[in-house]
Structure 1
Amino acid sequence: MRGFRRNNKPININDVSIVDDSKSKQAIKAAALGNAIEWFDFGVYGYVAIVIGKLFFAGVDPKYQTILALATFSIAFVFRPLGGIIFGRLGDKYGRQKILATTVILMTVSTFAIGLLPTYATIGILAPILLILIKIIQGVSVGGEYTGAIVFVAEYAPDRKRGFMESWLDFGSIAGFLVGAGTVSLLTYILGQQTFEDWGWRIPFLLSLPLGLVGLYLRHSLEETPAFKQLSESEDKNKKISFKEILSKYKRSMLLCIGIVLCTNVTYYMVLTYLPSYLTDNLKYEGSLGSDLIIPVMIGMLFIQPLVGWLSDKWGRRPFIFAGSLSLLFLSYPAFLLLDSGVATQITIGLIILALSLNMLIGVMAATLPALFPTQVRFSALAIAFNISIVIAGLTPTVTASLVSSTGNLMIPAYYLMIFGVIGLVTASKLKETANKPLFGGAPMAMSEAEAAELLEEFHGTIEERIEKIDAQILALQKKRQGLADKHPEID
């Protein structure tokens, strides 16, 4: 474990944070609901991308309309680093809770606004321009949302349950996406395709308002995290660290963060955002087939997600990153062959393979990333690294759709995932295990006094082991020095 000294004094039992179980559960609910709102919009947009293309880009060749709709989706990701810089800095200065309350408001309002937009037929070129502006606002707000949420939960989670607790954040993400996609499918079934394209597509976006109000209520009632409170009481509370210092001092951690996020989120956007359009536009399946098959697979993912988080607390995070990356490298191509089979059973197996690859990665990502940075810069550093990666990952639907369209090669998505599987393997090989350890530079966190005593004993034991290793290295260097000195006539 990494060393921790509070006010330059050795750590003792009083410095171990005892986490209130009810507060930690409340933190998970509030953070997960915010993620659900974010991914509710992604799910809706992914499933109505074809409709959005027809209505907002009616002035271009039909074969490019869906690509432009997906490109508009990707534009938001270009502005996520800006949101990460703004909200990350504010989160490290003023606290996590205030930022999470702000981002959920911005997300809700911008998603709701899409449902009110006039289309190209009504206001012409202004329609896509307004859509792009709204997606930019979304990008800025989301830039601080996910990273703020994982930091918030990490700083409330006891060391031995951080994987399980953080896994519920992306349970919220998948659930939000599922509800969004399911809402679109249900409305299409009830209203019929033509009525849905005429005005029914607006309803899912408008539904984000009540979801956002619930999320705001939950987040407004939260207390600040124990870790941030400790920082506020320390001598380092007013010490400012520039972005340049963050980039130089925590370069290795940021590169690891980028690798994990790229591997995980390229898979996420490929499976959950691009595949519905791929099955309809490229594989020419009936409009409902993609939804009918993907939605049950996503429901299965909900059950797997917390299981992966729970197991990662026992086995570690690295084994799952290795397994997910290996699956991308060796099973993506067979999975896409199954998707192109035209047989419902085989298509479902292909989707399950991709979904399990994603589960193994996203099940541990939220627990792994906050442990890479200390409290003082955790929000800022994580927001920068995460959102830089998301710019690349968010382009996945657009880049893949363009490559498939230009080359006619239906296996492009598989090759794309294989590349990022290699990136995941390299990252996992360089990552130090973070499971069951305190956050970087922080004190142990426990659920009870008995667990606190156990963690403190482990913590001190690890420090003793590190000191012994250092002493052994010093002794070896002293022997080496003496051996060299013996060869020199004027050095003792």
Structure 2
Amino acid sequence: MTDSAIGAPVDDEYVVGKNDKLVILASSVGTVIEWYDFYLYGSLAAIITVQFFSGVNETTGYIFALMAFAAGFAVRPFGAIVFGRLGDLWGRKNTFLVTMLLMGLSTFVVGLLPPYAAIGIAAPIILVLMRLIQGLALGGEYGGAATYVAEHAPHGKRGFYTSFIQITATAGLVLSLVVILGVRVAVGEEAFAEWGWRIPFLVSILLLAVSLWIRLKLSESPSFKRMKAEGKGSKTPLKDSFGKWPNLKLVLIALLGLTAGQAVIWYTGQFYALFFLERVMKLDATLVYVMLTIALVAASPFFIFWGWLSDKVGRKPVILAGCLIAALTYFPLFNALTQAANPRLAAAAASAPVVVYADPADCNVQFDPIGKTVFNQSCDVAKSHLAKAGVTYTNVAAPAGTVAEVRIGDQSVVQSFRGDAMTPADFAAQKKTWDKGLSEALTAAGYPAKADSALVNKPMVVLILFILGFYVTMVYGPIAAALVEMFPTNIRYTSMSLPYHIGNGWFGGFLPTTAFAIVAATGNIYSGLWYPIIVALATVVLGFLLVKEGKDVDLNA
């Protein structure tokens, strides 16, 4: 590490050098733990749903489950606003100590929380509250860590230094998967489902203690101390960030020209790939976790490489090139993933194509981010089952009033049913029976209910996942440095945090829901990829036109 100073002054208060490794280590370890805590819920969602939502009716349980998942993403921008303001008022270090404490304690509480059977409706309510706290804390953590490290970095190494922060999101995901797999193997599946799932949540308190101990050794960032010493701090960082057009314009450019595209590439390469393999390709969850972990670990060093390269050639060309390459190659990559992961499904789609014959007026767009809509038209019933089963189908318009049919090659026709006039209980019972009949017809036509693990081309799947992860490193490695360089010190924490978390919390976080709605509407299991592709290409265009390169910006100016 270097002993060079940041900016012009050379008095000891602003010299950076001996503590560089501690700065990066403390900021990175803390952020890894925050991501670990945040991802535990997503990885254990099925078990948590049984523990906390099984006692309520199906509709209410679904709403609670969706709220608990979405809450962590939806409130991240609000956490960015709250803690970004605090970070610009009373320091980067103090603020991300608070966010880490909130994240760690809320995760620990989930590990101790009694199930619905013990405390009733209070269980899902407390769970949703903990997820809200997690989302708020994560919204404040990232901006603080990225700003803190960037403000310590010597000129010409900001991309390299902050790339260690960028690796933490993937490291947190991998850590959560490894801990979950380890506990599952140690206690067995039955015990894990009953009580073992709590262990990964409880372990977070130990990780929190270690991280707090490391972070308490840090001092405030040089840029922030200089700003305070010179009396240039903002007393109203929210107003200065978002109430003045020149700064608000930069926030919007950062969102649309950088983070929106970065976010969809990140979520496609990690979460959507996981969703696609597990839910669409029907692979065994443990096998998916192992292959994804191998791929992500192999790709992770490239976060550092792209951060380093961005110090040489600029943040903008690296990020936008990553968005463009990913957008152009997603369709062939996911097609190849199907062939490698579930060859029987690919063969069935070719030999016995499925057609949904339905009245277009009977078909709705099944986008349901809040969980209150029941899709009970005959067309919706058919399409939702096929989309969840990972079966590609063609839409054919039928005369008005026709009850939808599912035609499987030339072998069978399965007629759907109208559920809009039924009671919820009758609809649920009828749908269960109908789902079983359609599943049997699909199986008879060669469509597998689950992927055969013995037929999975595991090296090829890992290679494709590695490529998707490589794209993630390309767009994500330099993003912290790029955002930090766009804003002045007195509003930097606030201004950079909001576009990052709107991009990643909203554009990225709701990608699976949006993609599923597109798949259900079109019938093509790959059509959900249009969402990240369009957003990424829009970012390429807007970023090229509007984003100014900042690698040579003086952060103290």
- Say if 2:151 is the partner of 1:169: no
- Say if 2:196 is the partner of 1:196: no
**2:211 maps to which residue?**
215
Paired with 1:159 and 1:296, the residues of 2 have a C-alpha distance of 34
**2:20 maps to which residue?**
24
Equivalent position SS for 2:112: coil
Amino acid at match of 1:370: V
**1:353 maps to which residue?**
467
* Larger displacement relative to structure 2 (171-180 or 242-251): 242-251
Gap regions ≥5 residues in structure 1: 1-10, 444-492
Amino acid at match of 1:396: L
Greater share of helix: 1
Q: CA deviation at 1:309?
A: 1.0
- Say if 2:376 is the partner of 1:261: no
Paired with 1:61 and 1:396, the residues of 2 have a C-alpha distance of 27
**2:487 maps to which residue?**
373
* Larger displacement relative to structure 2 (279-288 or 57-66): 57-66
Q: 2:543 aligns with which of 414, 420, 428?
A: 428
- Say if 2:118 is the partner of 1:122: yes
Paired with 2:129 and 2:47, the residues of 1 have a C-alpha distance of 19
- Say if 2:155 is the partner of 1:159: yes
Paired with 1:25 and 1:100, the residues of 2 have a C-alpha distance of 18
Contact 2:238 2:494 in 1 (8 A): no
Amino acid at match of 2:248: K
Amino acid at match of 1:428: G
Paired with 2:520 and 2:52, the residues of 1 have a C-alpha distance of 20
Q: CA deviation at 1:171?
A: 1.7
**2:48 maps to which residue?**
52
Q: Tell me the TM-score normalized by structure 2.
A: 0.72
Equivalent position SS for 1:22: coil
Equivalent position SS for 1:410: coil
Q: CA deviation at 1:255?
A: 1.5
Q: 2:553 aligns with which of 422, 429, 437?
A: 437
Q: 1:169 to 1:16 in 2, by over 3 A?
A: same
**2:315 maps to which residue?**
317
Paired with 1:72 and 1:239, the residues of 2 have a C-alpha distance of 35
Paired with 2:249 and 2:12, the residues of 1 have a C-alpha distance of 28
Paired with 1:197 and 1:72, the residues of 2 have a C-alpha distance of 19
Q: CA deviation at 1:278?
A: 3.2
Contact 2:515 2:529 in 1 (8 A): no
Paired with 2:119 and 2:274, the residues of 1 have a C-alpha distance of 29
Q: 2:32 aligns with which of 30, 33, 36?
A: 36
Paired with 1:66 and 1:323, the residues of 2 have a C-alpha distance of 39
Q: 1:127 to 1:279 in 2, by over 3 A?
A: farther
- Say if 2:131 is the partner of 1:135: yes
Q: CA deviation at 1:68?
A: 6.3
Paired with 1:211 and 1:283, the residues of 2 have a C-alpha distance of 35
Q: CA deviation at 1:107?
A: 0.6
- Say if 2:509 is the partner of 1:394: yes
Q: 1:251 to 1:123 in 2, by over 3 A?
A: same
Deviations 1:267-308 (A, max 9, x none): 323333343343222211112221121000111122111111
**2:68 maps to which residue?**
72
Q: 2:248 aligns with which of 241, 246, 251?
A: 251
Q: 1:433 to 1:161 in 2, by over 3 A?
A: same
Contact 2:294 2:462 in 1 (8 A): no
Contact 1:50 1:277 in 2 (8 A): no
Equivalent position SS for 1:21: coil
**1:185 maps to which residue?**
181
Paired with 1:394 and 1:384, the residues of 2 have a C-alpha distance of 15
After TM superposition, the structure 1 = structure 2 runs for residues 294-313 of structure 1, keeping only pairs within 5 Å, are: 294-313=292-311
Paired with 2:57 and 2:474, the residues of 1 have a C-alpha distance of 40
- Say if 2:282 is the partner of 1:284: yes
Q: 1:357 to 1:113 in 2, by over 3 A?
A: same
Gap regions ≥5 residues in structure 2: 1-6, 343-456
Q: 1:243 to 1:129 in 2, by over 3 A?
A: same
* Larger displacement relative to structure 2 (421-430 or 142-151): 421-430
* Larger displacement relative to structure 2 (100-109 or 53-62): 53-62
**2:355 maps to which residue?**
none
CA RMSD in angstroms comes to 2.7
Q: Tell me the TM-score normalized by structure 1.
A: 0.81
**2:291 maps to which residue?**
293
Q: CA deviation at 1:402?
A: 5.2
Deviations 1:238-267 (A, max 9, x none): 654552664422123212221222222233
**1:447 maps to which residue?**
none
Identity of aligned residues (%): 34
Q: CA deviation at 1:168?
A: 0.2
**1:270 maps to which residue?**
268
